[in-house]
Amino acid sequence: MRLLSTLLLAGASLAPLASAHAYVWGVQVNGQDQGRGDAQPGYIRKVQNNDPIKDVKSADMTCNRNRGVNTKTLNAKAGDKITVIWAHNNKGDDIIADSHKGPVQVYVAPAKSEGKGNVWVKIASEGFEHGVWATDKLRKNGGKHDFTMPSLAPGEYLIRPEIVALHEGSNVGGAQLYMACIQFKVTGGSKSLPAGIAIPGAYSATDPGIKFNVYQKPMPAYKPPGGPVVHI
């Protein structure tokens, strides 16, 4: 009986971990659901699973682990409202564990670059604002994170949403990063992308936006990794 109780307690302690991870399920364009993104043909580069990337120097930081090649491209115009839908396993589920506090960001790069080199430009970022973490807002919004498609010159682009979960971030290598690459064909804009950052390359395990203790009181100012948002 004591052994059974021990096993039940162990299972209960592991339950939150089972629901902790996340991935990008799909996208809405101006409120119109585009369906699951990694279905075939898919507009999201299919990833191996919903596990995080913890080595910020890994090649998996670009578009996640075991990413496939897009076989479909979404259409959007400059100024469109883009909604990234995050999930744990399926749309509308528990999204990500409450313990996982951190920023939610979005980068863009030319699709032809395959995400290699100093090509990633940050176009949206939310961190710790007015006492609320961006991940808390994400959960409250049912996994939906909105941004506006920049006024990009016509062409094909990779959009890279990202979560940096900092619940273990007080230790070097403890932060958990989640990301995906979504392919868009953009029209209606005119501006070229400026030089960006390399992912991997720009992040370090000791960056103050990655090695950060979310349990500090009072909470100091927090600046997400990757530099400021570029307005295009």
Whether the pLDDT of residue 198 is over 60: the answer is yes
Structural domains in the chain, CATH included, are 23-187 (2.70.50.70)
Each as own residue / partner, the long-range contacts of residues 36-39 (CB below 8 Å, 24 or more positions apart, any chain) are 36/91, 37/180, 37/182, 38/68
Whether the pLDDT of residue 1 is over 50: the answer is no
DSSP conformation letters of 25-78 = EEEEETTEEEEETTSSS-SB---S-SPPB--TTSGGGTT-TT----S--EEEET
What are 102's two structure tokens? 């951190």
Q: Which residues pair with 152 in a beta bridge?
A: 191
- Read off the pLDDT band of 71 (50, 70, 90): confident
- The residue behind tokens 């995080």 is 52
- Read off the pLDDT band of 11 (50, 70, 90): very low
- What pLDDT is recorded for position 18? 44
Percent of the chain with pLDDT over 70: 90
Whether the pLDDT of residue 36 is over 70: the answer is yes
The angle at the Cα of 36, spanning 35 to 38, to the nearest 5 degrees, equals 135
User: Bigger pLDDT: 9 or 33?
Assistant: 33
- Read off the pLDDT band of 67 (50, 70, 90): low
Beta-strand relationship, 23-29 and 81-87: antiparallel
Segment 190-197 mean pLDDT: 97
User: Bigger pLDDT: 5 or 43?
Assistant: 43
Burial (CB < 10 A; 0-12, 13-18, 19+), residue 18, is exposed
The angle at the Cα of 132, spanning 127 to 138, to the nearest 5 degrees, equals 70
Average per-residue pLDDT in the chain?
Answer: 91
Segment 145-169 mean pLDDT: 98
In angstroms, the CA 105 to CA 82 distance is 13
- What pLDDT is recorded for position 40? 78
Whether the pLDDT of residue 135 is over 70: the answer is yes
